[in-house]
Structure 1
Amino acid sequence: MVRTSAPVRWLLRVLAIGYLLFLVALPLMMLFGDTFADGLSTLGSILSDPDVISGFRLTIIVALWAVVINLFFGVTISILLVRYEFPGKRALSALVDLPLSVSPVVVGLALVLVYNGRTGWFGPFLEDHGLQVIFNSPGMIMATTFVALPLVIREVVPTLTEIGEDQEQAARSLGAGPLQTLWRITLPSIKWAVVYGVVLSLARSVGEFGAVKVVSGNVTGSTQTATLVVESKYEGFAQPEAYGVAFLLVMVSIACLIVVAVVRPRENEPRRNKR
């Protein structure tokens, strides 16, 4: 552990707090202030707006599907990367981080090129069988799933690496099958990593804008998510309503983090009391 003098420690604290203040706290404070500039009337108006209600309903549907898909494949890919050796493992690990380095707009455009009903590779075939991907919910779910893909994996992989394979090998030596070992040993060991990954994935999915805008068509009341409603209201000179919708989106993300922070210590309380 590096020891530093008191002035240096205070300087580092001031820099860290100042950085977070100007980058995060002040913009959020301005957003909250503009939202409640006229009291609760802004929230009342947006909660009675059918376009806003439709946007939040679609956001919830898309986000939940994206989280469920990323939960299943995120845990599966994490176990594959940590517990098995196979050709192309490094390439797979690199591909997992691709969504973090590629612009969401590029992701949306790529999905349009592949699944567009007229010119896409698979679009005509899918539409001939009654499935429209682009400018519909499936395309929005795919885009949201892609941008949130690494969040579960990058939470679970370090935890799997840290706990090792000793307990799993002991379970197998006692006659436990692969599914039984997974359910009774592996998943309980990584449950909090999974929870944090799911929370981050949910927050990322709720706030996705670029990729969803490209593949949705941005049709009011049909394929317009809450983030697209913010843009529509702001560009339509309805700034208070835009601030209100943005405020609700921020509160959803904050609520997810608070729930995890409150629940996790309770999990450890029985152990402390036993001691």
Structure 2
Amino acid sequence: MAKHVLRGVTVVYVLFLLVLPVALITWRTFGDGLGPFVEALTSPSALHAFKVTIVVAGWAVLANTVFGVGAALLLVRGRFPGKRLLGAFIDLPMAVSPVVVGLALILVYGRFSPAGGLLESWGVQVIFSTPGMVIATVFVALPLVVRAVVPVLEELGDEQEQAAHTLGASHLQTFVRITLPGIRWALGYGIVLCLARSLGEYGAVAVVSGRLVDQTQTLTLFVEERFQNFDQPAAFAAATALALIAVVTLLLTKLLRPKDRIDGN
């Protein structure tokens, strides 16, 4: 009896919290057919928002992938003072509000800060431009690749890597031929999670971007701006596109989940 009650509560909870809102947005989007949906997503502003989103997410995923693999190797294979502190700092974005992150980046890289003023004197604008949006997105998605790879590296151990070094393999050769094949599923899983987080980021990006229409507007900011300006078809169309991306991401994470694939086969 308790199992049936728990199952019913879970289904109702998911239904009203997730399924029903997404279903209503989808219904409002396609209520007048496919034409308005296509027209809304092919407008110049929407296409520009897609472009900015892809650029920001792409750089953020690339940076977090490189950092994530390096940090995971350092945390698992390295022995040094402050190792636990480093792990705590890597997890910090999970605890800090993205809005706080955006405000902190403005204090560091804003025009009137020492670092920001120096960069602007060199012709590099960080805040209210793409670099600031990339930095904010990198920060909020920082732990995802690291935390996906670390458990797999711990499970793999370092016996094969030590054997490769004994046989004369360099660190790069060992990584490419031994370590990378062993973590590829976990790495793919972390990359997909990082991409999903980067595509859907709003708070930090909203602060550092300035929300400049057709300049620093990502797809999430486009949804808000269109809705506030009573362009509901465009807002619903963009929201549906984000929901479809989320569904695809969910399917990919299920396929790439590193469970039972520790051996890399």
TM-score tier (shorter): over 0.9
Q: Deviations over 1:136-168 (max 9, x none)?
A: 100000000100001111111111111111221
Amino acid at match of 2:142: L
Aligned partners of 1:130 and 1:103: how far apart in 2? 30
Kindly report the root-mean-square deviation, in angstroms, between the aligned alpha carbons of the 2 structures.
1.9
Please give the alpha-carbon distance, in whole angstroms, between the structure 1 residues aligned to 2:209 and 2:203. Answer: 10
Structure 1: segments with no counterpart, 5+ residues: 1-6
1:4 counterpart residue number: none
2:119 maps to 1:126: yes
Name 1:151's counterpart in structure 2. Answer: 144
- The answer on 1:228 being equivalent to 2:228 is no
Contact 1:113–1:121 (Cα < 8 Å) also in 2 = no
Matches within 5 A, 1:105-116: 105-116=99-110
Alignment equivalent of 1:214, drawn from 207, 210, 214: 207
2:168 to 172, 175, 188: 175
Distance 1:174 1:102 in 2: 46
Alignment correspondent of 2:7: 13
Query: Equivalents in 1 of 2:13, 2:148: separation in Å?
Result: 25
Q: Distance in 2 between matches of 1:261 and 1:114?
A: 38
Q: TM-score, normalised by structure 1?
A: 0.90
Match of 1:198 in 2: 191
User: In the TM superposition, what whole-angstrom CA distance separates every residue of 1:65-88 from its partner, at most 9, and x where no partner exists?
Assistant: 000000000110011001111111
Query: Partner of 2:66 in structure 1?
Result: 72
What SS does the aligned partner of 2:66 have?
A: helix
Instruction: State the alpha-carbon separation in 2 of the partners of residues 172 and 15 from structure 1.
Output: 55
| Deviation of the 1:23 alpha carbon | 2.0
1:262/1:150 CA distance change after superposition, 3 Å: closer
CA deviation profile, 1:71-126 (whole Å, cap 9, x unmatched)? 00011001100111111111110011111111101101100010011x12301110
Distance 1:219 1:50 in 2: 14
Contact 2:186 2:257 in 1 (8 A): no
Q: How does 1:9-88 map to 2 (within 5 A)?
A: 9-88=3-82
Contact 2:57 2:199 in 1 (8 A): yes
1:243 aligns with 2:261: no
CA distance in 2, matches of 1:193, 1:259: 12
In 2, the alpha carbon distance for the partners of 1:257 and 1:108 equals 27
1:109 and 1:214 in contact (8 A); partners too: yes
* Cα pair distance change 1:9/1:169, threshold 3 Å: farther
One-letter amino acid of the structure 1 residue matched with residue 179 of structure 2 = T
1:186 to 179, 183, 189: 179
Work out the CA distance in 2 between the residues paired with 1:92 and 1:255: 33
Query: Aligned pair in 2 of structure 1 residues 169, 230: CA closer, same or farther (>3 Å)?
Result: same
Code of the aligned partner of 1:252: I
Aligned length: 261
Query: Which 4+ runs in 1 deviate beyond 4 A?
Result: 259-265
Secondary structure, in 3 states, of the residue corresponding to 2:161? helix
Q: Does 1:256 align with 2:227?
A: no
- Asked whether the 8 Å contact 2:128–2:210 carries over to 1, the reply is yes
Matched residue type, 1:13: R
1:20-72 Cα shifts (integer Å, max 9, x gaps): 22222121111111111111133122123111110011000000000000000
Deviation for aligned residue 1:174? 2.1
What is the deviation of 1:230?
0.4
Shift of 1:228: 0.5
How many Å separate the matches in 1 of 2:256 and 2:155?
23
What SS class does the counterpart of residue 190 from structure 1 fall into? helix
Distance 1:15 1:164 in 2: 42
